[in-house]
């Protein structure tokens, strides 16, 4: 029932049944315990609510199961049945993770199930976006349908790994925004991320994931995809009893995907599209009328001999989905490879740490 909840050991998070506003729909989820206005960070049955406050949540074998008043299954962890080695317990941690495990195994690698593997619209510190290469799962965020409806909304935020890893914000199948590829320190198109947030990116044989932590561990902070299509960093400010937006994208029209088209770039100071030096608008009349989506074309065709490069700084790297990536060569070798490939139009370091390493070539 709504008055029976689980509370994390330090009293940070609470787990239980809830409903929103005057709705008759009931959900099972997690929220911050000490914030007056409920702030939900995870919802189990977001697309299949209970019709009343009468529900049963229990452990059955090695599964967590939510039943309605007619004892029909509304939600389940749906794990393949296995032999129960020892008593199974479920617990809520102070980082907001709700886990099911064997009572004699505290090792995270031995968890039977955890809510962090099934995010809704919120990424908490220590929670990971991206790929678990051992299980094949892809963790991503999906917005609420509206501020008062936790059902799956139109907006998703995903880490994708074709080319160099980067994150994409979409409305259904329409691409709205991308972070730029990971460059070893941060995503290349997000230089303004607040310094009190520490990016943590992991790429190995077991996972390709992004998470974060805050330098001030005593503050409540979260990344969220809003029902209106923004990806935001929020932090709770006790003095004013409000969630403050520290960072939000898209922040202006320059953040919009493919606004200026191929070989075009958006000047963040003026929010105007320009062609890279040596290029001109492909459709000059449309460009003059404000439609720059067709981008730019070369003023002079390449000769594939005697061509050179122009250094572009403070740029979000282009989408690397169809680029060639080699992590084992340096920038000099990268330049030579690009010069010797008549289809190569640009190159960059894959990683800017320690003077730069790796090679990305766009053809």
Claim to verify: residue 236 and residue 297 sit in the same structural domain:
no
pTM of the shown model: 0.93
Tokens of 208: 């390709």
Range 160-165 contact pairs with CB under 8 angstroms and sequence separation of 24 or more: 161/130, 161/131, 161/208, 162/320, 162/321, 163/319, 163/320, 163/321, 163/322, 163/323, 163/325, 163/360, 164/317, 164/320, 164/323, 164/325, 164/350, 164/360, 165/130, 165/201, 165/203, 165/208, 165/210
* Structure confidence at residue 188 (pLDDT): 87
Asked if 163 and 44 sit in the same domain, the reply is no
Beta bridge partners of 149: 146
Mean pLDDT of the chain: 92
Final residue belonging to a domain, choices 118, 152, 167: 118
Q: What pLDDT does 77 receive?
A: 94
Per-residue pLDDT of 147-158, as tens digits, reads 999 999 999 999
DSSP 316: P
Task: State the Rg of the chain over Cα.
Answer: 24
Q: Which residue among 91, 118, 145 closes a domain?
A: 118
Of the candidates 182, 177, 159, the residue with the CA atom closest to the CA atom of residue 348: 182
Residue 232's domain is classified under what CATH number?
2.90.10
Strand order in the sheet with 56-60: 56-60, 63-67, 73-76
Q: Rounded to 10 degrees, what is the CA torsion of 236, 237, 240, 243?
A: -30
* Same domain assignment for residues 200 and 164: yes
Same domain (yes/no): 275, 352? no
Are 116 and 32 in contact by the 8 Å Cβ rule? The answer is no
From residue 242, how far is each of 103, 194, 234, 245, 271 by CA, in Å? 38, 18, 10, 10, 31
The answer on 166 and 99 residing in a single domain is no
Question: In this structure, is the dihedral angle defined by the CA atoms of residues 43, 45, 49 and 52, taken in order, positive or negative?
Answer: negative
Are 36 and 133 in a shared domain? no
DSSP character at residue 353: G
Query: pLDDT for 50-63, tens place per residue?
Result: 998 888 999 988 89
Is residue 144 classed exposed, middle or buried when 0-12, 13-18 and 19+ CB atoms within 10 A define those classes? Answer: buried
Residue 3 sits in a domain whose CATH number is 2.90.10.10
Q: Are residues 125 and 113 in the same domain?
A: no
**Nearest CA to 193 among 163, 228, 223?**
223
CA nearest neighbour of 30 among 78, 161, 22, 38 = 38
Q: Are residues 238 and 126 in the same domain?
A: yes
> In DSSP terms, which residues pair with 117 in a beta bridge?
none
Residue 245: predicted pLDDT:
95
The more confidently predicted of residues 161 and 159 is 159
pLDDT tens for 239-290 read 999 999 999 999 999 999 999 999 999 998 888 999 999 999 999 999 999 9
53 and 19 within one domain: yes
End-to-end C-alpha distance for the chain, whole angstroms:
59
Per-residue pLDDT, 1? 59
Cα(50)–Cα(72) distance, rounded to whole angstroms?
A: 10
Measured CA to CA in angstroms, residue 12 lies from 39, 197, 204, 220 at distances of 12, 20, 32, 9
Could you give the CA distance from residue 38 to residue 356 in angstroms, rounded to a whole number? 45
Length of the chain: 363
DSSP reduced 3-state for 175: strand
Do 240 and 286 have their domain in common? no
| Domain region containing 57 | 1-118
In this structure, the answer to whether residues 335 and 318 fall within a common structural domain is yes
Do residues 55 and 112 share a domain? Answer: yes
On the question of pLDDT at 145 being above 80, the answer is: yes
What integer pLDDT is reported at residue 185 of this predicted model? 86
pLDDT of residue 2: 63
- β-bridge mates for residue 129, sequence order: 210
| pLDDT tens-digit series, residues 86-130 | 889 999 999 999 999 998 888 888 899 999 999 999 999 999 999
- Number of structural domains, the chain? 4
Domain boundary at 98, 118, 138, which?
118
């Amino acid at each position: 029932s709504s008055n029976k909840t689980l509370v994390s050991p330090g009293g940070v998070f609470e787990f239980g049944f809830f409903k929103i506003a005057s709705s008759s729909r009931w959900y099972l989820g997690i929220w911050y315990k000490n914030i007056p206005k409920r702030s939900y960070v995870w919802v189990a049955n977001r697309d299949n609510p209970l019709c009343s406050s009468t529900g049963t949540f229990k452990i059955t074998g090695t599964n967590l199961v939510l039943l309605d008043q007619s004892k029909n299954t509304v939600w389940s962890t749906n794990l393949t049945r296995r032999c129960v080695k020892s008593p199974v317990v479920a617990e809520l941690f102070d980082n907001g993770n709700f886990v099911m495990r064997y009572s004699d195994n505290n090792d995270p690698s031995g968890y039977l199930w955890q809510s962090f593997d099934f995010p809704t619209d919120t990424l908490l510190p220590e929670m990971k976006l991206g790929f678990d290469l051992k299980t094949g799962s892809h963790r991503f965020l999906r917005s609420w349908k509206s501020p008062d409806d936790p059902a799956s909304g139109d907006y998703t935020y995903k880490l994708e790994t074709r080319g160099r890893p980067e994150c994409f914000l979409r409305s259904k199948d329409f691409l709205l925004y991308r972070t730029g590829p990971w460059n070893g320190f941060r995503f290349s198109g997000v230089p303004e991320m607040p310094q009190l947030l520490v990016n943590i990116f992991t790429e190995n044989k077991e996972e390709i994931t992004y998470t974060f932590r805050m330098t001030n561990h005593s503050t409540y902070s979260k990344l969220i995809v809003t029902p209106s299509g923004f990806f935001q960093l929020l932090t709770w400010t006790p003095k004013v009893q409000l969630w403050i937006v520290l960072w939000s994208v898209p922040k202006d029209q320059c953040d919009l995907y493919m606004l200026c088209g191929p070989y075009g770039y958006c000047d963040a100071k003026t929010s105007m599209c320009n062609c890279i030096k040596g290029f001109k608008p492909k459709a000059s009349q449309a460009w003059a009328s404000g439609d720059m989506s067709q981008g730019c074309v070369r003023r002079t065709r390449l000769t594939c001999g005697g061509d050179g490069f122009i250094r572009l700084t403070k740029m979000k790297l282009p989408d690397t989905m169809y680029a060639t990536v080699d992590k084992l060569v340096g920038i000099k070798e990268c330049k030579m490879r690009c010069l010797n490939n008549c289809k190569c139009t640009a190159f960059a370091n894959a990683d800017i740490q320690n003077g730069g390493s790796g090679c990305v070539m766009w053809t």
